[in-house]
Amino acid sequence: MAAMKSRGRLAILDPVGMKAGMDHYDLGLARGLAELGNEVDIHSNFTSDESRVRSFNSFGRGEVRWWNLAALYFRYLQVLRKCKTDHVGTLIIHLFHFNQFDAWLVRKARRMGFYLIGIVHDVEGFVRPTNNRRLLNIVQHGLDRMVVHNRYSRDELLRISGNKLGEKIRVIPHGQVAEFPGEEAPVIGKESFRVGQEKAFTILFFGMIKPTKGLETVIGAMASLPPDVKLLVAGRTRPGMKGSVIRDLQALEREGRARLFLHSIPPEAVSSFFQSADVVVLPYSRVYQSGVLLRAWCEGIPVVLSDLPAFREVAAEGSDALFVPAGDRQALMKAIMRLKDDGSLRSSLSEGGRKRLVRDHNWKDIAREFSNLLA
């Protein structure tokens, strides 16, 4: 496909980047677009030696708090001005919360004459309530086109907007979030993070810890699982989590049944956590898309998922995942025991997940879909 050069260079703007694994997303999309002949820049908090893409360390890796929000505004202004100087015509931005800052960025970029494509990862924020009026203003009047990762997210946006978004929305899958581990790569995590004795069967719960992530279900399942099943929890705790949940986790840790890493995980350690696990559980009560699921498939670890629409779109029971009703701790326990007792099932799910990644989540096909939005 020929490059769409009428809008000038493309730039992906992402202040999150390496803080949450979004660097893999940015680089995968940028490489794919560059292979189609587009000139692509990335403005984030990392640089790459990728020869076909220009990358700029435009944002810091520190957490954004109210006292340093002004610095983020200033950095964005610098980035927008540089994009204008570099003859960038199209901006691709990530949207998770539809907060006041998102509204300001979209409004400012529009005034500067950029063509805007928004990647809507979450239609609703699960930490703080989403302001639907602000959301509608952004998607109806700010963005030229928007991308969602599944039909469920599209339908939710259409429902909120009263079916007024029409052709602005395109469903394009979430791309692979890491390279497949090499056969020769040492499995550092088996020694670093595995819980208890080497023969223990380890469950991994990975990612930001929010009320919708279902940790209570995992804790409840642990009460019915045998002592040689251990729990590994890795991720930063977000506002709204019940103190009782954290105390229950800490009690499991004191009993030798769990290890807790309740903080942001450095990018270089992520693979080790997954490689320490025998199964990854995603017992969420609500979800729009999940990078954790894609990372588990990439690492070759079988998954147990809540039976939710967004998961049902991307995974298949018995082929690349096991499904359990959301909030059902007994069903979760039984799925974990099924995997513990059946090594061939673990292997087939792992293989199925990797095949799914190659078929449905490869950046070459995804970039081609994005390129269609530039016409």
Q: Please tell me the least confidently modeled range out of 162-171, 298-307, 311-320, 329-338.
A: 162-171
**Predicted confidence (pLDDT) at residue 98 exceeds the cutoff of 80:** yes
Domain boundaries, the chain: 9-178+362-372, 189-359
- pLDDT for 99: 85
Q: Which CATH number fits domain 189-359: 3.40.50.280, 3.40.50.11540, 3.40.640.10, 3.40.50.2000?
A: 3.40.50.2000
Topology of the domain comprising 9-178+362-372: Rossmann fold (3.40.50)
Who wins on pLDDT, 264 or 190?
Answer: 264
What average pLDDT does the chain have? 89
CA-CA distance, 98 to 106, in Å (whole number)? 10
Tell me what the mean pLDDT of segment 156-174 comes to. Answer: 88
Predicted confidence band at 72 (pLDDT cuts at 50, 70, 90)? confident
9, β-bridge pairs:
88
- pLDDT for 165: 80
Predicted confidence band at 188 (pLDDT cuts at 50, 70, 90)? very low
Q: Could you tell me which residues come within 8 angstroms of residue 82 by beta carbon, excluding any fewer than 6 positions away?
A: 43, 56, 58
Q: In the chain, what percentage of residues exceed pLDDT 90?
A: 70
CA R_g for the chain: 21
Predicted confidence band at 196 (pLDDT cuts at 50, 70, 90)? low
Q: What are phi and psi of 104, to 5 degrees?
A: -65, -45
Residue 57 neighbours by CB distance under 10 Å = 13
230, 195 in Cβ contact below 8 A?
Answer: yes
The reply to whether 9-178+362-372 and 189-359 are identical in fold is: yes
Q: Please tell me the least confidently modeled range out of 65-79, 102-116, 150-164, 346-360.
A: 65-79
- pLDDT for 14: 94
- pLDDT for 6: 47
DSSP string for 29-88: HHHHHHHTT--EEEEES-----TTEEEEE-S-SSPP-GGGHHHHHHHHHHHHHHHHHTTE
Task: Please give the model's pTM, rounded to 2 decimal places.
Answer: 0.90
Please return the burial class of 81, using the count of CB atoms within 10 Å of its CB with bins 0-12, 13-18 and 19+: exposed
Tens digits of per-residue pLDDT, 13-41? 999 888 888 999 999 999 999 999 999 99
| Token duo for residue 21 | 């694994």
